[in-house]
Amino acid sequence: MNALLEVAGLEAGYGQSQVLFDLDLKVGAGETASLLGRNGMGKTTTVRAIMGLSPPFAGTVRFLGERIDGLPPDRVARMGLALVPEGRQIFPNLSVKENLVAFAANRCEAREPWTLDRVYAFFPRLAERAGNFGGRLSGGEQQMLAIGRALMTNPRLLILDEATEGLAPLVREEIWQCLAALRAAGQTTLVIDKYVERLIALCDRHTIIEKGRVVWNGTSAELDADHSVWHRYLGI
């Protein structure tokens, strides 16, 4: 696999408290990958370490073959990584349009970059609500805005942390469809979520962590075929 992101031997945590141990993770160019695990197992910490938000204690994070561990978050973002964080964190007092243009860039030098018009075509609901404050949107619209804002940076790698959390089933389905469309468009994506069946349908490969360590990784076909893994590590 031609790895776009390659995490090796990652150890990270908060202050004296170590959360991740010798964690390896790869995402190939053009792949959609998932990071799975029960609550509190270290998924968000992994993403924070990749993005430079929680500098690793040890290990390496390579992006396009270059070391990015230890770089500040803005440098990591400029390399072409974009995070849609847990809780969305859109700007409530900026309009939809202002949220979208705030960090616009063409990080991956795409021939057909994401622009305001393209994001509006992808999420017509955002076009309808262009002048509304972010804080006045529904949960699903806020999630679309968070994804649209990340796409406006034209990321080489899009990371979504619990993008469907707290959404009604129909709205959740809209987000899954949007992720499938991004995959079809060739977007490389790392998805953290808990809906295994939807992730199997969406993703190429999966990594499961427990107590900060990788306990399983494999393809969708392998995860689909072994429900004992779901039971053992995901409590399903």
Ligand X SMILES: Nc1ncnc2c1ncn2[C@@H]1O[C@H](COP(=O)(O)OP(=O)(O)OP(=O)(O)O)[C@@H](O)[C@H]1O
CA atoms of 216 and 206, how far apart (whole Å) = 8
Q: Between 116 and 167, whose beta carbon lies closer to ligand X?
A: 167
Q: What is the closest distance, in whole angstroms, from the C-beta atom of residue 27 to ligand X in the complex?
A: 17
Q: What is the closest distance, in whole angstroms, from the C-beta atom of residue 17 to ligand X in the complex?
A: 6
Please check whether residue 35 is in contact with residue 192, taking contact to mean a CB–CB distance below 8 angstroms.
yes
Q: Between 152 and 229, whose beta carbon lies closer to ligand X?
A: 229
Q: Between 42 and 140, whose beta carbon lies closer to ligand X?
A: 42
Q: Which residues of 190-215 are buried (b: 16+ CB within 10 A; e: fewer)?
A: bbbbbbbebbbebbbbbbbbbebebe
Q: What is the closest distance, in whole angstroms, from the C-beta atom of residue 214 to ligand X in the complex?
A: 13
Q: What is the closest distance, in whole angstroms, from the C-beta atom of residue 71 to ligand X in the complex?
A: 20
Q: Between 85 and 134, whose beta carbon lies closer to ligand X?
A: 85
Pure H helices in the chain? 43-51, 73-78, 96-101, 116-122, 124-128, 139-151, 169-184, 196-202, 220-225, 227-229
Q: Count Cβ atoms within 10 A of the Cβ of residue 146 and give its class: 0-12 exposed, 13-18 middle, 19 or more buried.
A: buried
Q: Between 156 and 194, whose beta carbon lies closer to ligand X?
A: 194
The per-residue DSSP string of 162-219 comes to: STTTT--HHHHHHHHHHHHHHHHTT-EEEEE-S-HHHHHHH-SEEEEEETTEEEEEEE
What's the angle, vertex CA 75, arms to CA 8 and CA 113, rounded to 5? 100
Q: Residues in the site for ligand X, rule: CB under 6 A? A: 14, 17, 19, 37, 39-45
Q: Between 45 and 99, whose beta carbon lies closer to ligand X?
A: 45
Q: What is the closest distance, in whole angstroms, from the C-beta atom of residue 15 to ligand X in the complex?
A: 7
Q: What is the closest distance, in whole angstroms, from the C-beta atom of residue 1 to ligand X in the complex?
A: 24
